[in-house]
Structure 1
Amino acid sequence: MGSGIGVLVGAFLLVLLLLDLPKLGAQQTHPIEVKALKDIRRKLKDPLKNLRSWNRGDPCVSNWTGVFCFNTTANDGNLHVSELHLLNLNLTGSLSPELGKLSDLKILDFMWNKISGSIPKEIGNLKSLELLILNGNLLTGSLPEELGFLPNLNRIQIDQNSISGPLPKSFANLNKTKHFHMNNNSISGQIPSELSRLPSLVHFLLDNNNLSGHLPPEFSELPELLILQLDNNHFDGTIPASYGNMSKLLKMSLRNCSLQGAVPDLSRIPKLGYLDLSWNQLNGSIPSNKLSDEITTIDLSNNNLNGGVPANYSNLPHLQRLSLENNSLSGDIPSTIWQNWTSNGNESLLLDFQNNKLSNISGSVNPPANVSIRLQGNPLCEIANQLNIVQFCRSQTRGEDVPKSPITPEECLIQSCPEDYEYVENSPVPCFCAAPLRVRYRLKSPGFSDFTPYENEFEVYLTSGLEMKLYQLSIASFMWIEGPRLRMELKLFPEFINNGSNKFNDSEILRIRSMFTGWTIPDSEIFGPYELLKFTLLGPYENVLLDFSKSGISKGALAGIVVGAVTIALLLSAVVSMLIMRRSAQKRRTVSRKRQSSRVLLKIDGVKSFTFGQMELATNNFSNSTQIGQGGYGKVYKGILADGTIVAVKRALEGSLQGEKEFLTEIELLSRVHHRNLVALIGYCDEEGEQMLVYEFMPYGTLRDHLSVRSKEAPGFAMRLRIALGSAKGILYLHTEANPPIFHRDIKASNILLDSKFTAKVADFGLSRLAPVPDIEGTVPGHISTVVKGTPGYLDPEYFLTHKLTDKSDVYSLGVVFLELLTGMQPISHGKNIVREVNFAYQSGMIFSVIDGRMGSYPSECVEKFVTLALNCCQDDTDVRPSMADVVRELENIWFMMPESDTGPSDSVDMDPKKVSPPSSTSTTKNPYVSSDVSGSDLVSGVMPTIAPR
């Protein structure tokens, strides 16, 4: 057997050798460019060895990672580098000035690495350059003047760095540049008025910088400008009245820019769809002329506006959000705003008039069900009973909704697909399993506030842009992040072709990625500019080589070599295959015998084995009166054992999704772990085709039950904090004290149970995995590679995309639970994600507006720290999330901060849940607009910024 495998390995090595034959010839890339690439490599640090191919052969012929060349040799007889794609490779180091030697380069892409230093001025020598993509690094220094002399540059994308200094006036020479994406840096000074000469500029995104001075009135002369996004800068003066003449503008966002004066008349902009002028010092009345029918979002909140609410906000068919809160508006609210608004399907409308001086509502007060009105803090709420508007004057909390689940025919369960393959929901062929490509994608400046009504339109837009069928795209999840920007996790499935493959071939993968990285998918007016964040190759794509050159040996010649080599390999491996098949048959018979005897051999110390009869007796023959819950695994019953012990019996449905593997996993894991914050397993039943798990009974049910709007008595803040601390301690035990450590993988509010003293206990270990163990050299791997399992809304985005499970995946899920404790919201509601919603309120300085009003009074400082901790746990980057030990430590610190509290953080203290509430204190507040800064010492891992309107 061993010699046969050796022959097979040798045959495949022969194939690889033959495939590499074309690379053994003379160097074909221009020598200057070869030297430049080697110098570029020396300046970079590559901890994951992603650039190991750069040490062999010729760049254009030997498939150096990320190096793409022209198809044919130039007049000098050499190949030339046309594109350099080194995105998302965890590179550090700096950018070499030798980049300027790649004279024919069209695309320079280093995005989403950790490269530091400045941008070399030598890049200004690349006269063919079309795309300069450096976003998502640690670059510093100023922008070189030389970049302003790139005659063919279409896109300069340097956002999310630490670049400082002014915008060079030389950028006014970039006649072909359409996209200025420079947000989230430290660029300072005034915007040069010379930039108004740019004839092709479409997107001007410089939000989150340190720009100052006045807004150039000349920008109204930009002939093609679609998006002007300058939020969170420090301008002087007013918004130029000339901006009302921007004939093509789709979006104007000038939030928190220190602007004064009047709101300009923007009614002459025919397709304006998004207007945000919030958090300035604008004064005077709101212009009375009607805005464009295309408008989706109007945000004039947190200014000094007076006068009335204009009636011209009626008859706006696409309006999703009108925010006028925190001004000095007076008079009546015209009810025509909602009476004349018509919903088409799943649209909703939010009207926020809080904290003004409004005294009445003219006309009917009864809005449609999908219109939300917020009136708290107005004089009219003093006569709320007379006006029949009490419900609009209450502190606003979010209702509950069941997360959307994919509609899958019962006969086409996802679990029936092979590993790494999934059922394609909308495929024209039933039960088509295929391997998806996973893409993280972001809309950088969308023209709406609510994505749900545009979801179908987006699917059509993206699939047509990618030249794919509509059913090939699945939006696995989406969430709003700071900006606001819309991030999505996408799955792209191969097209179903009769007798064809159920995965993409290499050339199709390369085509799709090239369309994303080359920005060849046309921009959309409503969806705005986009960017690729990650393009992950897993499962059958794990070894796909995306970096093969566009030049070199012809496809025909290469195919001939490959066919010959493969033929030899197949002949040599035939005998080996027969041996392997024979051995496999023997192994299957052995495994079958083991499975038949598994139930007999299942004896674990400390866990009792019950008979089916004992379970029938304990649950009164599984009567409905004893049923206390139900999930995907099956039903849960309250039972009483013969010795009087009250238990919970989880009985699997026949053919349930959990299966025998999860059943055995939970028994094996729970038999080894013992902690007061973990639900104890008492026993199991595994006979007569039945699988049951017997746990200690938890009389107060799940945490989710108590956070539900249907709960009669919502717990106070102190109880919620205590539950959070107990849950964290249970998970900390799993991560650090269990031997070996355990990753839970399905932490959620419905898996945190409460006993008779309201002690929180983590439950349901069916999806848990043992943490990695040290290898031969004693090194412990940082993750487990595994199929993604868990619950939508709680899943770590990094785990979802990469299939790499770590202890920080549990931290993310627990962070979502913390946000539930604070807000009472569901993780996913109407397509809105709890992490995004709380983060947005946090960044806007409105965090108390999303705190659960049913919680009663609470100490504001403690709540702020709890929110900060929860959001730190939910950071996208796993490296910046706190460890579970840090989480427990911070929760204990918050507990000790509780005013007049004589109870320490020990869970051994008995508490009556109906009596536990924060002690009264002068620092306790229910005002949703209380705002105080959070110092750097308050931040776990120093990740989250202070509470501010950014």
Structure 2
Amino acid sequence: MGARICQLLVVIFIQISITTGQNNDREVLQALKNYWQNTPPSWDDGSDPCGGSWDGIRCTNSRVTAITLSSMNLVGGLPGDIGGLTELQILDLSYNTGLTGSLTSQVGNLKKLTNLLLVGCGFTGPIPDSIGNLERLRYLSLNSNGFTGPIPASIGNLQNLYWLDLSANKLTGSLPVSNGSKPGLDMLTHAKHFHFGDNGLSGNIPPGLFNSNMTLIHLLFENNELTGSIPNTLGLVKSLEVVRLDRNGLSGIVPSNINNLINVTEMFLSNNRLTGVVPNLTGMSLLNYLDLSNNSFDPSVVPSWFTTLRALTTVKMQSTNLGGELPVDFFSIPQLQNVDLSDNRLNGTLSIGSNPSTQLQLVDLRTNQIASFTQRRQYSIELILVDNPLCMESGVTDKYCSLPTTTNASYSTPPNNCVPPSCSSGLVSSPNCQCAFPYMGSFFFKAPSFSSLGNYTIYASLQDQLMTFFRKANLPVDSVALKNPSRNLDDYLVINLEVYPSPGPSFNRTGIVGLGFALSNQTFKPTKDFNTYVFMSTNYDNFLPETSGGTSGTKHKSSNTGIIIGSAVGGSVLVVLLVLAAMYAFNQRKQVERTSQQTQPFAHWDQTSKSGDAPQLKGARAFTFEELKKYTNNFSETNNIGVGGYGMVYRGSLPNGQLIAIKRARQGSSQGGLEFKTEIELLSRVHHKNLVGLIGFCFDQGEQMLVYEYVVNGTLKDSLSGKSGIRLDWARRLKIALGAARGLQYLHDLADPPIIHRDVKTNNILLDERLVAKVADFGLSKPMSGANQTHITTQVKGTMGYMDPEYYMTQQLTEKSDVYSFGVVMLELITARKPIEKSRYIVREVKQAMDKNKELYGLQDVLDPTIGLSSQLKGLERFVDLALRCVEETGNQRPAMSEVVKELEGIMALGGFNPGTQSSSSTSASFETSGKDYDHPYSNDSLFAYSGGFMPPKLHPK
């Protein structure tokens, strides 16, 4: 009898678990629906998400196992609710640039996740350590976002990882390796792909990163700030096929055992500081593409292995100290296409021979010491011998002694034996001559085996590969077109792709989701001619009209076995369930009481009370939801002026005519309540004409909203970039700098208690109708509460490029941290350059360009051309001196903001400007931009996110 009871209880608990899980999944999906904008229309039909009608949702046994919503134009973020989908295996939100904010640490709860794909979104902030909990993960693609901070060492715990792509972010710090109990990347022995290019990673490449147990085939570290030597342990990873270490600061000799990598087909070591002898690559018989350019190798003659590597298509060794004569046999390598040996010491007589490669297109030998050329016949090869002795003789008119006219390769998939029709607006003629709306994007091939852009046969091959793949995958594709192949600054091969629907003229959402997943998940595998790629798509806005059934895709059957069991035993166990529910409620009561203050800080707020539960307000008004609804015309689309990861921003008008900006947190988010209350208390205490004023807030009907004064001319960043259309001459820039400095001085010296802003940047300095500067966004600010407090020890947050290095290293935040950030803003004011761009830091760039013995310190080449004539830049040298004092390495060497204000006033007086006024009347509201021509300043995420991130511009992949 006892055994039967136990069995019954097991069934009961299983049923409770199943039912709870199903209900929880539905609640999470409903929260995502409320949190995101532009979800598929099928999500609005009120049906069971696991009934098969919700586009992008796949379920098994009524539990959500896959969310695939690439290219859906979603707007929002990734809330912590996602952690409730404990059966989720695939999460693909790629190509939704409107998904912003930080990546929630709750993603670490998705223990069954195998594919996490967030390619080409707008996420910022650090990658959470909790990602190391996803032990089943095989594909991790976080590339082409704005992630900052270091690579989490916890990724080393992902023993099943096959694909790791963190490229094209803003990651910094060193490459983590294991040390005792600490995990590291060297533990990923089953991983095939390390893609870390286009970041700001620094430090040495640790020797412990590589070992003979690894099975890597692609190692991509290009365009970082790595230094030190190439470790000889690299030669242990004999599975490698592609090695990209180019555009770093690597030095020392290339390890001799690199020629152990006999499977390598592409090797890029260019644009480093490598020394010693040119590496011996004998034995790398599969090598197609070699680039060793722009290093400081010892002077040497052309290496003998040049002619032994018969698979070569491309050899680039510009500026590598090569001397001697080129062997004739070199040009007869069967697949050779492109040779660049310019800026070396090659000499003697050049002979291409009578039987060069039929694929050879370019031989660039400019700036060498070649004295003569044996031309045995006419070649179709583009040969460049400019700046060689044979071209410096008078009267020489040979074609190869002139630089060729640059022409871009032009290719577009031709029509398939048909006549292209004339299509109406927006529609495009497909290769099969059908008018349709194509799905469009670009391939970025990071290591193709060829360099020629004129080989149209190979593009036709890629087109055939794509069509074969799409057909086998049962995707609704009629045809594909490839267009405009080019090489970008990263030496990637870029090819535009257009995919046409079948039947036309439009794809449905199921078709787009399938295409996006196939390309973001690397399911499509091109031949090794093209090798590894990243695909970046554009939003697709031409979906087929939705039917009344709510879905245009295939329905997935879901097992309802658990529900049937529940119905069968429901009556007999009703009493037991009631008892369990009562026990659960009793146990949860105390926990709810403990957490209520965190989630609902105003829950017991009586606005007439003086208790600690109420926000301590000084001048901020509490609005009702209905009031703000009225002031924004029911939050209408016409009043929408921006979007951030935590909600929309609306323009409104108070009854007295005052314009306001309302930032509305997305409903369904329960996070940030206590922080919301804290920020209101902070902002209500500061009042200064150079600070954006908080008018009030709304915490009503489940809404969280902040109400600010409306600042019409947007951010200083927009004006410096030209986006706002406002021209900032030297006088205006000085006045803006002084206004922002006065605002920060008020925070440091006059606010009670003093406040450290912690995120000073041009995106957080707004300009009103008279271009008066107003410091905005106090989401990361910290008050100095103690009377004798000199610093605050706190987690490092802020924006890379503006962040105080001393604070970054010590976690000790001081008022001088704001001074450092303001110094970067000052340099941005005179250069209009981003603080960090292409791994170049504005502080370093200005210091290197400076020459105090020259007029304007010799900075003419780095100054913004729109700033004005040199004769008008009075006081610029003092301005630069002040900026560089602000960005000193240690805080005690920097001036206080009060000193900065005084010095800026002196600079303005020197130029004949009145520091007491903020702007002339000529800079009026005529500068106001309308509608949504630029992201509104209040859409900055950190007001709610507290992540230190910032709203990135629209993604344009490299």
Q: Give the alignment's TM-score, normalised by structure 2.
A: 0.49
TM-score by length of 1: 0.50
The one of the two structures with greater contact order (alpha-carbon pairs below 8 A, sep at least 6) is 2
